[in-house]
A and B are shown apart, each in its own frame.
Chain A
Amino acid sequence: MKINRIILSFISAVVILFSTSVVSFAKVVGDKIVLGAAISLTGKYSSNGVHTQNGYNMAVDRINSMGGVKVGGKTYKFEIIYYDDESNPKRAAQLAERLISQDGVEFMLGPYSSGLTKAIAPVTEKYGVPMVEANGASRSLFTKGYKYLFAVLAPANLYLDVAIDLAVEKNNGKPVTVAMAFEQDAFSQDVRLGVLDAIKRTGSKKVIDDKLPKELNDMAATLVKVKQMKPDVLVVSGHTKGALTAIRQIAEMKVDVPMLAMTHCDAAKLSKQHGKNSQYALCASQWHKTLTYKDNFFKDGMKYAADFEKEFGYDPPYQSAESSAALLVFKDAFERANSFDQKKVRDALAATNMQTFYGNIKFAEGGQNVDKPMVLFQVMCDGSGKCENKVVAPTKWASAKLIHPIPKWSER
């Protein structure tokens, strides 16, 4: 009995020792600014989770090697504590609690996806921890009155409304007919709301409005309707599986539609998986490497893409670029606040107005970035079947001319 009690007290002593030592490593210690992030390293978002993490790591290395962050005349280096949220919102919220209350993290980076950001935001808000996130675009994140949430990306409702405007422009300013197919999740439904706004604004008409299920892998029914109704534009948003399924079945069923606009084409590696069948698809993107924004750390998009490829062995998707931008924003805010006081940093973040390689960043009241438009690229293939994404809108950054209308299948 006695020996048991001794063992027990020994174990609890060790536990207490460990827990205190963890706390003392965190926050801003010595010359380190410790940021916390719950990222989906396993589970259904793991591939985009890894893109996010690579983006963060790339920026941390770059900022640290180029002199770090200067606050109060002293130089600090970034460090990130990662936890794996298993793509599970509940787990993400727990980990945010843990990062803040156990590890003592005072500044957070966002997770991947709108759903997980939604789970974490109430926690960071409760503790007054500033969070810069780069992968939660859902409009509902920015209408809750959060004070400590800042998103470097454009909100989801702006993803595809550009496409409707473009279609109207190509139709000599006359209204168009629109077929819509959106997955039933927070993000895609926000994209849908944006498209509905654009339809209303331009006086256009929606002829099909399908909601796709989560287990989506067959949208033949929607496409049959599209064949029958012959709309001017077909918009699809259902993450990577939506993009892949749409292109496969449009090609198989020979659906002719003058304009096809989607989201998640680059995450789906559309042109790689489908080759020529993906040709002419318009894709909404937060970023493209050919955009000419500039900063001191990554120079520009092309340089960023080249450096990223060298380090991680693949072309950076926009998820990585925006994640890197989040750290540039943090650095800028720390230096302007000239303090590690959470309130001061929060105010500095709110006053951000800067250009990064990823785009201009300026936050609205709700925390969303209002200074960076979405771009549309079009998949274009050459004779040998090699396909490339070329920016076609907005015209300011266009590197190619929009091909419109899409040639009929019988003429390809």
Chain B
Amino acid sequence: MDFMVFQYPMITVQACLDGLLLGILFALIAYGMALQWGVMNIINIAQGDLVILGGYIAYFMYLYGIHPAWGVIVSPIIMYFIGVGIYKLVINKVVDRDLFISILATFGISILFMQLMNFAFGADVVLANSGYGTTMLFDNNVTLPNSKIFSAVISIVFAICLVIYMKKSKLGRAIRATAQNARAAKILGVDTEKVYAATFGINAALCGVAGALISITFTIHPYMGLPYTIRSFMIVIVAGLGNLPGVAMSGMGLGVFEEFADYILGTEFRIGAVFLLLVLILVYRRFKLSRKREYLK
């Protein structure tokens, strides 16, 4: 245990800011997961792998001399079609089935993606340099890489666009209707098959954006997807489905929690702390549910 983080106020500020910026990015990935979980009742284990694939798209643009920030535009477009492709090939066969089957199917997709990415791009750790520089605050005591600020801003922009799209557009309304009651939506003329495909595509596109941002701020590697899946799963569990402000809040909360866990428990327990928190929340939820059941009795 190390409480340095509380001894120096500047470290506390740094940890909070780092956590918030990171959390906003997590929230974007989690929002995609919440969306397709809510609409299709599928828990996508391959979420993190889609993120990494999006990252590779930005990385390849960078390799060919295009600024990786453009990946934020290009990557979601490509990823949308990949998402629709995955839906047509695999997901449409498991969408009405048991949750367990969808977990198995997406787990399979996850393994397949890891291996394919490893095969296609190699096992090297890579990154894309944005050259964005650094913002110094409080007499140079707090440093914020501009790439992280850029990531947070882009994540917020995409989230806002998506919310507006879901509210105003025809497809958005169809998606929401299907989420509420797929059968009723079908009877009322919504092509649910199309809605599902589009939802999965939108989720993949969000992963694409996040991946491009991660390649600019951190590093990417074919086997690095799982921590992102776990984090988004956790955020969705805390926030609940179809609750965007909740997803944003719990995303940022998780980001800050991770940073503090890193300082206090040590970097090695960072991901472990996330898992622990997940277990605690699941236990707490169960406890709450069982109390509710008692009332009903």
Q: Tell me whether B267 and A254 are in contact (CB under 8 A).
A: no
Q: Tell me whether A254 and B134 are in contact (CB under 8 A).
A: yes
| Smallest Cβ-Cβ distance to A219: which chain B residue | B267
Taken residue by residue from 209 to 253, chain A's Cβ proximity to chain B (1 for < 8 Å, 0 otherwise) reads as 011110111111110110010000000000111001100110011
Q: Tell me whether A212 and B143 are in contact (CB under 8 A).
A: no
Q: Tell me whether A248 and B267 are in contact (CB under 8 A).
A: no
Q: What chain A residues lie within 8 Å of B153 (beta carbons)?
A: none
The answer to the question of B3 belonging to the interface, with a C-beta cut-off of 8 Å to chain A, is: no
Q: What chain B residues lie within 8 Å of A240 (beta carbons)?
A: 124-125
Q: What chain B residues lie within 8 Å of A42 (beta carbons)?
A: 115, 118-119
The answer to the question of A184 belonging to the interface, with a C-beta cut-off of 8 Å to chain B, is: yes
Q: What chain A residues lie within 8 Å of B224 (beta carbons)?
A: 215, 217
Q: Give A30 to B182 CA distance when docked, in angstroms.
A: 72
Q: Tell me whether A252 and B268 are in contact (CB under 8 A).
A: no
Interface stretch of the complex, out of A4-12, A43-51, A145-153, A322-330: A43-51
Q: Tell me whether B268 and A221 are in contact (CB under 8 A).
A: no
CB-CB under 8 A for A273 and B18, given A42-B119, A211-B267, A217-B219: no
Q: What chain B residues lie within 8 Å of A62 (beta carbons)?
A: none
The answer to the question of A23 belonging to the interface, with a C-beta cut-off of 8 Å to chain B, is: no
The minimal Cβ–Cβ distance linking B235 to chain A, given in whole angstroms, is 17
Q: Give A248 to B218 CA distance when docked, in angstroms.
A: 8
Q: Tell me whether B18 and A241 are in contact (CB under 8 A).
A: no
Q: Give A3 to B227 CA distance when docked, in angstroms.
A: 55
Taken residue by residue from 213 to 228, chain B's Cβ proximity to chain A (1 for < 8 Å, 0 otherwise) reads as 0000011011110110
The minimal Cβ–Cβ distance linking B215 to chain A, given in whole angstroms, is 11
| Smallest Cβ-Cβ distance to B263: which chain A residue | A221
Number of A-B contacts (CB under 8 A): 102
The A262-311 residues at the B interface (CB cut-off 8 A) are 268-269, 273-275
Q: Give A228 to B7 CA distance when docked, in angstroms.
A: 11
Q: What chain B residues lie within 8 Å of A213 (beta carbons)?
A: 267-272
| Smallest Cβ-Cβ distance to A275: which chain B residue | B129
The minimal Cβ–Cβ distance linking A137 to chain B, given in whole angstroms, is 19
The B3-38 residues at the A interface (CB cut-off 8 A) are 4, 8, 10-11, 14-15, 18, 22
The answer to the question of B108 belonging to the interface, with a C-beta cut-off of 8 Å to chain A, is: no
Q: Tell me whether A245 and B218 are in contact (CB under 8 A).
A: yes
Q: Give A322 to B233 CA distance when docked, in angstroms.
A: 44
The A144-202 residues at the B interface (CB cut-off 8 A) are 181, 184
The answer to the question of B280 belonging to the interface, with a C-beta cut-off of 8 Å to chain A, is: no
Q: Tell me whether B219 and A244 are in contact (CB under 8 A).
A: yes
Residue count of chain B within 8 Å CB distance of chain A: 42
Q: Give A240 to B4 CA distance when docked, in angstroms.
A: 29
The answer to the question of B160 belonging to the interface, with a C-beta cut-off of 8 Å to chain A, is: no
The minimal Cβ–Cβ distance linking B266 to chain A, given in whole angstroms, is 6
Q: Give A224 to B129 CA distance when docked, in angstroms.
A: 21
Q: Tell me whether A253 and B221 are in contact (CB under 8 A).
A: no
Interface range, A side: 35 or more
Q: Tell me whether B223 and A44 are in contact (CB under 8 A).
A: yes
Q: Tell me whether B127 and A244 are in contact (CB under 8 A).
A: yes
Q: What chain B residues lie within 8 Å of A215 (beta carbons)?
A: 224, 226-227, 271
Q: Give A393 to B136 CA distance when docked, in angstroms.
A: 36
Q: What chain B residues lie within 8 Å of A248 (beta carbons)?
A: 127, 129, 219
The B197-227 residues at the A interface (CB cut-off 8 A) are 218-219, 221-224, 226-227
Q: What chain A residues lie within 8 Å of B219 (beta carbons)?
A: 217, 241, 244-245, 248
Q: Tell me whether A184 and B218 are in contact (CB under 8 A).
A: no
The minimal Cβ–Cβ distance linking A141 to chain B, given in whole angstroms, is 23
The answer to the question of B122 belonging to the interface, with a C-beta cut-off of 8 Å to chain A, is: yes
The answer to the question of B240 belonging to the interface, with a C-beta cut-off of 8 Å to chain A, is: no
Q: Tell me whether B119 and A221 are in contact (CB under 8 A).
A: no
Q: Give A212 to B124 CA distance when docked, in angstroms.
A: 18
Question: Per a CB cutoff under 8 Å, which of B122, B126, B145 touches A252?
Answer: B145
Q: Tell me whether A220 and B127 are in contact (CB under 8 A).
A: no
Q: Tell me whether B127 and A43 are in contact (CB under 8 A).
A: no
Q: Tell me whether A253 and B227 are in contact (CB under 8 A).
A: no
The minimal Cβ–Cβ distance linking A169 to chain B, given in whole angstroms, is 30
The answer to the question of B178 belonging to the interface, with a C-beta cut-off of 8 Å to chain A, is: no
| Smallest Cβ-Cβ distance to B143: which chain A residue | A253
The answer to the question of B282 belonging to the interface, with a C-beta cut-off of 8 Å to chain A, is: no
Q: Give A98 to B233 CA distance when docked, in angstroms.
A: 41
Q: Tell me whether A241 and B221 are in contact (CB under 8 A).
A: yes
CB-CB under 8 A for A221 and B259, given A46-B123, A228-B4: yes
Q: What chain A residues lie within 8 Å of B136 (beta carbons)?
A: 254
Q: Max chain A CB contacts within 10 Å: which of B118, B218, B263, B267? A: B267
Q: Give A337 to B187 CA distance when docked, in angstroms.
A: 84
Q: Tell me whether A252 and B127 are in contact (CB under 8 A).
A: no
Taken residue by residue from 226 to 267, chain B's Cβ proximity to chain A (1 for < 8 Å, 0 otherwise) reads as 110000000000000000000000000000000100110011
Q: Tell me whether A217 and B268 are in contact (CB under 8 A).
A: no
The answer to the question of B44 belonging to the interface, with a C-beta cut-off of 8 Å to chain A, is: no
Taken residue by residue from 122 to 150, chain A's Cβ proximity to chain B (1 for < 8 Å, 0 otherwise) reads as 00000000000000000000000000000
Q: Tell me whether B119 and A252 are in contact (CB under 8 A).
A: no
The answer to the question of B147 belonging to the interface, with a C-beta cut-off of 8 Å to chain A, is: yes
Q: Give A222 to B127 CA distance when docked, in angstroms.
A: 20
Question: Per a CB cutoff under 8 Å, which of A44, A48, A217, A224 touches B118?
Answer: A44
The minimal Cβ–Cβ distance linking A106 to chain B, given in whole angstroms, is 31
| Smallest Cβ-Cβ distance to B222: which chain A residue | A44
Q: Give A89 to B118 CA distance when docked, in angstroms.
A: 18
| Smallest Cβ-Cβ distance to B268: which chain A residue | A211
Q: Tell me whether B8 and A228 are in contact (CB under 8 A).
A: yes
Q: What chain A residues lie within 8 Å of B259 (beta carbons)?
A: 220-221
Q: Give A218 to B268 CA distance when docked, in angstroms.
A: 11
Q: What chain B residues lie within 8 Å of A43 (beta carbons)?
A: 118, 123
B interface residue numbers (CB < 8 A to A):
4, 8, 10-11, 14-15, 18, 22, 115, 118-119, 122-127, 129, 134, 136, 140, 143, 145, 147, 218-219, 221-224, 226-227, 259, 262-263, 266-272
CB-defined A-B contacts under 8 Å, sample of 17: A44-B221, A44-B223, A210-B267, A213-B268, A215-B227, A217-B221, A217-B224, A218-B22, A221-B18, A221-B262, A224-B263, A240-B125, A241-B125, A244-B125, A244-B126, A248-B219, A252-B147
Closest 3 CB pairs of A and B: A252-B145, A211-B268, A221-B262
Given contacts A216-B267, A224-B14, 10 further A-B pairs with CB under 8 A are A45-B123, A210-B267, A213-B267, A221-B263, A221-B267, A225-B263, A248-B129, A252-B143, A273-B127, A274-B129
